[in-house]
Amino acid sequence: MIRVQREDFDLGAELAALTQGRHDIGGLCSFVGLVRDMAPIDGETTGISAMTLEHYPGMTEKMLARIEAEAQERWPLSASLIIHRYGRMEPGEQIVLVAAASAHREAAFEACHFLIDWLKTKAPFWKIESTDDGREAWVAARDSDDDAAARWQRSDEAAE
């Protein structure tokens, strides 16, 4: 299940809905991304008062569905969930939830890790951070995110 939304989500309610009545699920793994109150901007750690996420409606959902389908192809998942927010958010607010459920924990752990790693590098979201001193800075792609996603790349994809 994929949702891109402005409003916050209730983690407990989302996970309960994902597993309700599903007795085939033996493991559920989830990751929640939160807005931090600091970030590296222009080579220094700076206080952040807000982050605004923008996306391209339609394109974003399509890419998230592809990422979810890839996880379901690679692991024996009973259920999966991606919720990503957009709009203005303040430090401490939830940004993203990914969850993977399977009969066994290892598949749930690996699929959850894959989902967030690929989402960070492949989903079309753009972030701008507002600093405590009134500046704004676009968040650039990070090599560490690319490195994390690269471990999931299949050998046939490396040639593309």
Structure confidence at residue 107 (pLDDT): 97
Any domain includes 68: yes
CB 100 within 8 A of CB 107: yes
DSSP assignment of 56-71 equals -TTHHHHHHHHHHHHH
Placement of tokens 């989302």 in the chain: 14
Which parts of the chain are beta strand (E)?
2-5, 27-34, 38-41, 44-55, 77-85, 87-89, 94-102, 125-131, 136-138
Any domain includes 129: yes
Structure confidence at residue 46 (pLDDT): 85
CA–CA gap between residue 38 and residue 157 (Å, rounded): 35
- Here the CATH number for the domain that contains residue 104 is 3.90.1170.40
Any domain includes 65: yes
CB 148 within 8 A of CB 68: no
Q: What DSSP designation does 9 have?
A: -
- Residue 91 amino acid letter: P
CB 102 within 8 A of CB 25: yes
Show the domain range for 116.
Answer: 2-151
Any domain includes 156: no
Identify the bridge partners of residue 30 per DSSP, sorted by sequence position: 99
- Residue 154 amino acid letter: R
CA–CA gap between residue 83 and residue 85 (Å, rounded): 7
Structure confidence at residue 36 (pLDDT): 93
Structure confidence at residue 149 (pLDDT): 64
- Burial of 47 by CB count in 10 Å (0-12 exposed, 13-18 middle, 19+ buried)? middle
Q: What DSSP designation does 12 have?
A: H
pTM: 0.89
Crossing angle of helices 143-150 and 105-122, in 10° steps, is: 140
Structure confidence at residue 159 (pLDDT): 47
Structure confidence at residue 34 (pLDDT): 97
Going from the first residue of the chain to its last (160 residues), give the mean pLDDT of each consecutive group of 10, the final group possibly shorter: 97 97 96 92 85 95 96 97 98 98 97 94 92 86 66 63
Q: Number of folded domains in the chain?
A: 1
